[in-house]
Structure 1
């Protein structure tokens, strides 16, 4: 969102020549460095929050209890136990992971490639793609923030909604080859906002729900498994995005 805001500001303020683009790039990288520093500071501060300490203590107690039960067992059994635990975690969170994978396959195959290359506006001209990207990022943030208000507790609904996002394909395709109205700014903008909103919300919901279906000492590993699904979704979505070009 911040980057999109900066792009709008720099495009409005700086001339679109080599000098203006250089100033925009310098501002972008300067802001990026500052944000990275702020994130590093916040990362170290978050670990000291009472809520984080509370859950770390819970995990430590659970791990200690498990170790007490297995302290007399052999190392070979421990290795097989580790493998079985990983298999158990993947089995428990696989549908959540598949939902996240589908979310990012759909999103990355449409955004930003389709948004920046395939749709055009005679009214907004080169501002069109910039505003669409900004709209997506804003609504993605709104979607992530909505989980602070309400989280769907039914995993089937959350995963089903992730599958239902496949409907974005025919809808965006209609914006390219459908009736004239669908090729105007309003439908494309609404679909882009909805794409961002559902991406942010359902990703957050699945990330919240999945670690709760395993034991607390396995929650961190479950999160890592989900991130693996997310990365695969990013990669597959980036490849699928080429079909819009083809």
Structure 2
């Protein structure tokens, strides 16, 4: 999916390390809000014990992410990438600030009104997620595979960071009055500041790096209309991009979204099934269906942290060529084999101890990150800029579709335990 990087020149290489680091930070910023919510859901269970916060918030988040991504994937060639990503990060910034203010305004007291307010903010997070994930992966698809990998690793790092901080706040505030609330407010304030820094990095730093300007100018020459604002922000003359817009250069002969999808249907379905399985277990099952164990209130926090750590570690492994799977057939086989984890989790929750559950969560996290990166790095190269951007958006559309269905299927674990409706 990423652009061909075989004929590098000094101009193209200049700023590559800085761009890779910024991609990592922007990836972290694209999920830190959501991971902050999943890390403090024990607080929301304390405030809203009858409303299944983990499952409800996931189910609120996903349809807005999926619906927004469907519109964006259909109209990707007409959507300005720069404006799209900046709007997404601004929405994350305002959303985390709103969650902080809602809690302050209600003094941490649970009510149906405040719960609805939280759900509305989470819905805006879903829309922001679609804006950024599709926008960034479509944008980075024009460049080199290392940028995509770095962005995906940053997404996983947000889970590890929030889990580590959550374990720290659990230790610090465990015996402090209102400790859960203080830890949650710390999370929200940190997420708000971090999202603000992402706005600055993307808007004023990333677009001006020489290697980024090179790839975007190359995409414009191939007919991409989504990079014009980025080129203008980088100080590149816009006469070229205006000419491309006026004459439809490179657009009329590009593959349609339907043709792109048929050529890459296996990759799209792989991403769909990866996240159907993952979200049908994480995080709802880990919070509500694993029973009581020696770790007590630490148990779900440790499981979430375990998932995030292995998810992060696995995303670095494809950087080693001998450990990266590029065979389309084998990727699909491994994706389908993951569904064996469903009965494994079911029987372990009933008969196993916390050691076996921790091992299964490790496998879930490892396979999630590793296979996701393998798919997105192995997606076919050789397309023109507009087609690479379109393919990135299509793959994210299927990814979010899998997350949406997985979050819905997660409710099936409640059948038979008498707690489906509260």
Q: TM-score range by the shorter chain?
A: 0.7 to 0.9
- Kindly indicate whether residue 189 of structure 2 is the aligned counterpart of residue 20 of structure 1: no
- Kindly indicate whether residue 219 of structure 2 is the aligned counterpart of residue 48 of structure 1: no
The equivalent of 1:245 in structure 2 is 414
1:160 counterpart (312, 333, 337): 333
Distance 1:89 1:222 in 2: 7
Distance 2:209 2:333 in 1: 35
- Uncovered stretches (5+) of structure 2, i.e. residues with no partner: 1-159, 225-242, 416-422
Contact kept in structure 2, 1:140 and 1:200, CA below 8 Å: yes
Q: In structure 2, the residue corresponding to 1:204 is in which secondary structure?
A: helix
- Uncovered stretches (5+) of structure 1, i.e. residues with no partner: none
Q: What is the number of residues matched between the two proteins?
A: 232
Contact kept in structure 1, 2:273 and 2:336, CA below 8 Å: yes
Instruction: Say what the alpha-carbon RMSD is for the aligned residues.
Output: 2.5
Distance 2:382 2:339 in 1: 26
The equivalent of 2:116 in structure 1 is none
The equivalent of 1:169 in structure 2 is 342
Contact kept in structure 2, 1:107 and 1:237, CA below 8 Å: yes
Distance 1:200 1:42 in 2: 25
1:206 counterpart (354, 372, 375): 375
Distance 2:218 2:326 in 1: 23
Matches within 5 A, 1:182-221: 183-210=352-379, 212=381, 214-221=383-390
The equivalent of 1:112 in structure 2 is 283
Distance 1:90 1:16 in 2: 54
Deviations 1:179-223 (A, max 9, x none): x4xx11221111101111111111112122225264443111100
Matches within 5 A, 1:26-37: 26-37=185-196
In structure 2, do the counterparts of structure 1 residues 62 and 30 end up closer, same or farther at CA, with 3 Å as the change threshold? same
1:124 counterpart (274, 288, 295): 295
TM-score by length of 1: 0.84
Contact kept in structure 1, 2:349 and 2:357, CA below 8 Å: no
Instruction: Give the Å deviation of 1:18.
Output: 5.7
Distance 2:211 2:304 in 1: 35
Distance 1:228 1:237 in 2: 14
Hey, which bits of structure 1, 4+ residues long, moved more than 4 A?
none
TM-score by length of 2: 0.51
